[in-house]
Amino acid sequence: MNKDRLKGCKVAILATDGFEQSELMKPKQLLEEAGATTAVISPGDEPKIKGWNHGEWGEQIAVDVPLNKARAADYDALVLPGGVINPDKLRLHEKAIDFIHEFGRTGRPVAAICHGPWTLINANLVRDKHLTSWPSLRVDLENAGARWEDSEVVESGNLITSRKPDDIPAFTNTLIRALEEHQAEAA
């Protein structure tokens, strides 16, 4: 992968304990391989958060920026990993929802995978959008006004959504392309 594709791009990854390990680690790796700088942002005070991996606790990852010090304006895109625990905690955290809403409002890419779109509902970003997610979120998304489909990746305006870890390559490639377009428009 061309390490300069996303040179100068900064991507926020908002997560807390219980994030689906592959849905944070793999997109982070692929974005960095494309030249982006990533920052793990979390609402807690702990220096690390713990992933969820195949039904049990997984690896920890360092928190780069506490949410109370993060500014959406400092980043070019936002990644919202899934897992059940992570987005369920985040959607009850007012500052996390405000951070997500700010990204949606500005039109910069917001990429949510698996259960991550739960937070998009709370941030009032799904009405009249075409989305996908883990299948159990379908009714939640439709009740919030989204049009749901069972696809590997769906792009609707600035929202990029995917269903599960198997979709990570398509999910991340779509985000990389969106960031390249965003850079070209800003130039």
Q: What pLDDT, on the 0 to 100 scale, is given for residue 182?
A: 87
Domain boundaries of the chain, sorted by first residue: 10-182
pTM of the model: 0.97
- The closest of 48, 57, 44 to 83, measured between CA atoms, is 57
Q: Is pLDDT above 90 for 13?
A: yes
The Cα angle at residue 5 between residues 59 and 37, in degrees rounded to 5: 40
| Per-residue pLDDT tens digits for 117-168 | 999 999 999 999 999 999 999 999 999 999 999 999 999 999 999 999 999 9
Tell which wins on pLDDT, 164 or 44: 164
pLDDT for the residue 28? 98
Positions annotated as catalytic residues are 114-115
Q: How far apart are CA 159 and CA 97, in angstroms?
A: 15
Q: Which two tokens stand for residue 126?
A: 């799904």
Question: What number of other Cβ atoms are within 10 A of residue 39's Cβ?
Answer: 16
Angstrom distances, CA of residue 125 to CA of 41, 159, 160: 20, 9, 12
- Facing residues of 141 across strands? none
Instruction: Please check the confidence at residue 1 and state whether its pLDDT lies above 70.
Output: no
pLDDT bin (cut points 50, 70, 90) of residue 54 is confident
Residue range 70-95: average pLDDT?
97
Max Cα–Cα distance, the chain, nearest Å: 45
10-182 belongs to which CATH class?
alpha beta
